[in-house]
Homo-oligomer: A and B are copies of this chain.
């Protein structure tokens, strides 16, 4: 059968990644060890180098996979909501981020926790990293189109310049008002998820499910019907 060797190879790469993730979950990314993976696989430590040229290359692959998985989860949730149900889209996005993070805490920590020291993410991780943000930006564009009222409060010239730069960078035309609320909502979302994943809600909130959805609902209303 043609490609048999390649299929076996792809499977072993997947095995290595899976074991690496398990190790990161148990011991943390910085102590990820190629030798330990080889040991788990029952092969010589040098054999890993047939699949990844170095430890950093494995880390990069894991980071890209994590961004892609989060992106896919968010896209998936977003397409399931009705396009004109803006609140529903926002809540779906938030829930997708949280669910993915809780299901994959090691991967979440890898991309949103303390950067792995001595490791510099290469440029090629950027497209994967921005994948889920496109869903958020698309939502902000639609929100912007339906918002009737505008904020009275004046922004500083520096802030206005910044949001203008953001528009040119993303090629969108979202108003300052929606942008600032959207960025705040973005921070709220990942801040709360990080709190939960990293254990800062212990002894603060027990039933995070209920609190999280209540907060998403509240912030979502502010985001959509801002006066």
Query: How far apart sit A218 and B200, CA to CA, in the bound complex (Å)?
Result: 25
**A113 near B116 (CB under 8 angstroms)?**
no
Query: How far apart sit A20 and B191, CA to CA, in the bound complex (Å)?
Result: 27
A-B contact pairs, 10 of them (CB 8 A): A109-B114, A156-B213, A158-B210, A162-B211, A163-B211, A169-B203, A169-B204, A184-B218, A188-B191, A222-B222
Q: Does A7 make an interface contact (CB < 8 A)?
A: no
Q: Does A190 make an interface contact (CB < 8 A)?
A: yes
**B215 near A184 (CB under 8 angstroms)?**
yes
**A206 near B162 (CB under 8 angstroms)?**
yes
Contact (A159, B198) CB under 8 Å given A28-B30, A191-B192? no
Least CB separation from A208: chain B residue: B162
B residues near A115, Cβ cutoff 8 Å: 198-199
**A28 contact from B116, B126, B215, B218, Cβ within 8 A:** B116
For chain A residues 133-191, which have a beta carbon within 8 Å of chain B? Answer: 151, 153, 155-156, 158-159, 161-163, 165-166, 169, 180-181, 183-191
B residues near A117, Cβ cutoff 8 Å: 26-28, 30-31
Number of copies: 2
Query: How far apart sit A217 and B210, CA to CA, in the bound complex (Å)?
Result: 28
**A162 near B207 (CB under 8 angstroms)?**
yes
**A205 near B109 (CB under 8 angstroms)?**
no
State how many residues of chain A have any CB contact under 8 Å with chain B: 60
Contact (A221, B153) CB under 8 Å given A166-B205, A180-B214, A206-B165? yes
- The majority secondary structure among interface residues of chain A is helix
Least CB separation from A196: chain B residue: B187
Query: How far apart sit A117 and B161, CA to CA, in the bound complex (Å)?
Result: 42
Q: Does A51 make an interface contact (CB < 8 A)?
A: no
Least CB separation from A214: chain B residue: B159
Contact (A156, B204) CB under 8 Å given A117-B28, A191-B194? no
**A187 near B195 (CB under 8 angstroms)?**
yes
B residues near A91, Cβ cutoff 8 Å: none
Least CB separation from A186: chain B residue: B191
